[in-house]
Structure 1
Amino acid sequence: MIPAFLAFATIGQDQPERKSSLTGDVRIHEMIPSSVLGVSRTIRVWLPPHYDAGKPGGYPVAYMLDGQNVFDGATSFIPNQEWRADETAQAMVESGLIPPIVIVALDNGGLKRGDEYLPTRAKLNGSEVGGEANKYADYLVSEVKPFIAKQYNVSRDPGHTALVGSSFGGVAAFHIGATRPAEFGLVGAMSPSFWWDDKVLVKNVGGWESVPHLRIWMDAGDEEGPLMVFPTREMRDALVTKGLKSGRDFVYYEEPRAAHNEVAWARRFGFCLQFLFGTRAGRV
């Protein structure tokens, strides 16, 4: 992981020239106001080839956190390092590996990112962070999803609705899926920071009295180190203990020689999509 002070120290230094890398039909809704968050946020939407506003049942939909990094190297936190979600989804749709889907990328809150994505409040680098993930879930459910449903032909079925994030965003995706399974039945937690607050989410799963109906993708890169990898393995084991079956209800994939960055997540994003939405038997 990159400590926060090092990450923000790069701001203002010489950066590579940013280049737009959008692929396909990407529509940008600038600064949509939120009464829940009390701010405005940009929402970016990728539509599949041959999108049909009248398609019966609507399209499966993936809501993705840290939206600045999802489609475009011109807007990503690290210049020109992005998830390539548009390129990956387009190639997979055109090859028949997944059905046509809609991807909704939600910009993060900058300095508020940790507060909004983490479910509990705890200390990080000497400051208290987190505790607003449930409020952020309210924003998704009461504002973002209705806005998208009004603008686009998306499915209302939680079994066709994913929430995907990485790092702190992976924590948010898992927590919100686990607490709002009637809204998000598919979860993509990529390099999730399950170490957060003494592994509180792993402990929460251990205390489940009933198991939410979810399909979960989790992953990590072995170069992320024990702090990231070991708690994610513990989460895998906790899910198995609760009766979830690997390969059916969830997948945990550990990528060799992979670090904690958008380049690694871009490589694995297609695997995540295929498990959550795939059209072939087993979805893997």
Structure 2
Amino acid sequence: MVPMGPLLRHRLPLLLAFTLGVLAGCDSESDVLFEVTVPPETPADAVLRLQGADPGLGGSSGQGLELVSQGGRVFSLKTRLPKDEALTYRVWMSAPAEQVALDASGQPVPGQTVTLTKKSQTVGVSVERWGPPSGITQPQTVFVVEVPEDTPQDSTLYLPGNQPELGNWDPGAVALYKAVDGRHALSLSFAPGRKLEFKLTRGTWETVERDAQNNDINNRTLTTGTGFERVSITVEGWAKPRPPIPPVLTGDIRYLEVTPSNATLKPRKVIVWLPPDYKDTPTRRYPVLYMHDGQNLMDASTGFNGEWGVDETAQQLVTEGQVEPLIIVGIYNTVDRIAEYTQVPAAPQHAEDYPDAGRADLYGQFLVEELKPLIDSTYRTRPEGQYTGLAGSSLGGLVSMYLGMKHPGTFTRLGVISPSVWWANQNIITQVNALPGKLPLRIWEDIGTDEGDSSQDTTETVEDAQALRDALVAKGWGVDTDLKYTVVEGGQHNEAAWADRFDHILRFLYPQPPLVP
């Protein structure tokens, strides 16, 4: 055995003490991995931090340690923290905006506590939703969208729909942001019970979502709730070029180009359907039905979302003797459709969304003083008011009701189809109530049960339509005599739904045998 030198014998206690101290220090700390699972609407560029009172969770700035994205919805960080101590921490977002973790009810999540008991340990954390430090009390709807693989990386997604919050169907107004895991997201607040209709686009209707086979899809729908809801959407594909839809027109179709004398109204096209015997009976004169949104009536190649099939339906009913032979005139709309189809400006809360509304009087003047005389001089019509009708859907239904009351000597047969009674806080009902008495109008009014169900004034509803019916009845109209009111079970707010009931509308407004003047 080699004898120990004096110096080594002197230092040995110090070395032992140091070693034991190091070992004791290691035993008192834990290498911890925090794994944080975030909600799918978390922004892709989010900066997330984990912060606590312990110096090991403070970071150099005291704001906490920055978590690192691991792909998908997981962020993580590694640090060393004391063992066997209750440690309190919180997870928060410092960018792109300061947000804190909230619970399902919208209240900030209090600091969470963990006690580390192992030399190496993993702590899993889940964030339900994000929000401001004060929390969220109003209803919140979060849209989370998964896109197909062929979506261009630089794409911005938009959510157009039937509410001002959704841009009133402007395809490039309401943008989503890029979220984690390759998704896109958007958070909006709606009053409870709103019936939403919407689609996804990449900024234009030419880039609207379609199914995987490049077919058009129906509007997505959602009735908003009272609290927090996350709506997951999967886009199957985006619109790709496809062969133009060939015009499928039935019967004798004519076109006119019309420029209103008032420069406020834009030039427009007019489509005219003539009855089957028009050429063969040169002395016969015909009643006329004027219809709004003319490009959607007879030609799918020009329709917004298909066509009504007005030409096919009228051709069949007239040929079979189910309706009186008539002429149908479709007036194309313009970019000023909302302005021309509304009788008064928008309600104050929506004035910014519809700044040019309330031009129905001007539009009606064009119909009465310019278009109708042109039609009467060009075709063999029965120009008297008792033979002349006016019909349309949605705002077109609203303006038909209004112009029928405004010009009862010109239009006496009204197709008030899915009317936008909500406009300007139900102003059309106010106008009916102000009538001195019943007018000589034969009115078809209808609504579908799936068009809307809300107390808000931004969507068509069964309750609104019924209120209009009740106002007309109070003025003397008789249900099933000169007022036909129909609630269509499952009826939606689109061209296909209106096509399904156009035959009933024609039979009521232009029955065979003809109405006795």
TM bracket, shorter-chain basis: over 0.9
For residues 408 and 422 of structure 2, the distance between their equivalents in structure 1, rounded to whole angstroms, comes to 23
Residue in structure 1 matching 2:260, options 7, 10, 34: 34
**Counterpart in the other structure of 2:213:** none
Aligned-residue sequence identity (percent) comes to 36
Q: Does the 8 Å contact 2:298/2:308 carry over to 1?
A: yes
Which protein has the bigger strand share? 2
Match of 1:263 in 2: 496
- 1:83 partner SS: coil
Mean Cα deviation higher: 186-195 or 125-134: 125-134
Alpha-carbon spacing, 1:190–1:125, altered in 2? closer, same or farther (3 Å):
farther
| Residues 133-148 of structure 1 mapped to structure 2, 5 A cutoff | 133-148=360-375
CA–CA separation in structure 1 for the residues paired with 2:324 and 2:407: 24
Determine whether 1:180 maps to 2:407. Answer: yes
Question: Is the aligned partner of 1:82 residue 2:244?
Answer: no
Gaps of 5+ in 2: 1-160, 172-203, 208-238, 454-458
| Match status 1:106 vs 2:370 | no
Residues 198-277 of structure 1: pairs in structure 2 closer than 5 A: 198-226=425-453, 227-228=459-460, 229-277=462-510
State the partner residue of 2:194. Answer: none
The gaps in structure 1 that reach 5 residues or longer are none
- Among 206, 209, 221, the alignment partner of 1:12 is 206
What TM-score comes out, normalization by structure 2 length? 0.52
The C-alpha deviation readout for 1:47-105, integer Å capped at 9, x for no partner, is 1102047334x201100000010100000112xx1110000000000111111110000
Amino acid at match of 2:282: G
Distance in 1, matches of 2:162 and 2:302, equals 19
What is the aligned residue count?
278
Bigger Cα Rg = 2
Cα deviation, residue 210, structure 1: 2.5
The verdict on how the C-alpha distance between 1:281 and 1:22 changes in structure 2, with shifts beyond 3 A counting, is: closer
Alpha-carbon shift at residue 6 of structure 1 (Å) = 6.3
**TM-score, reference length from structure 1:** 0.92
- Other structure's SS at 2:271 match: strand
**Does the CA-based 8 Å contact 2:265-2:363 persist in structure 1?**
no
Which residue, out of 337, 352, 355, partners 1:128? 355
String of CA shifts for 1:218-270, please: whole Å, max 9, x gaps.
Answer: 10110012242111100111111111101111111111111000000001111
Greater relative contact order (Cα < 8 A, sep 6+):
1
Q: Residues 287 and 327 of structure 2 are in contact (CA less than 8 Å); yes or no, is this contact kept in structure 1?
A: yes
Q: Which has the higher helix share?
A: 1
List 4+ stretches of structure 1 deviating above 4 A. Answer: none
Q: CA deviation at 1:128?
A: 2.5
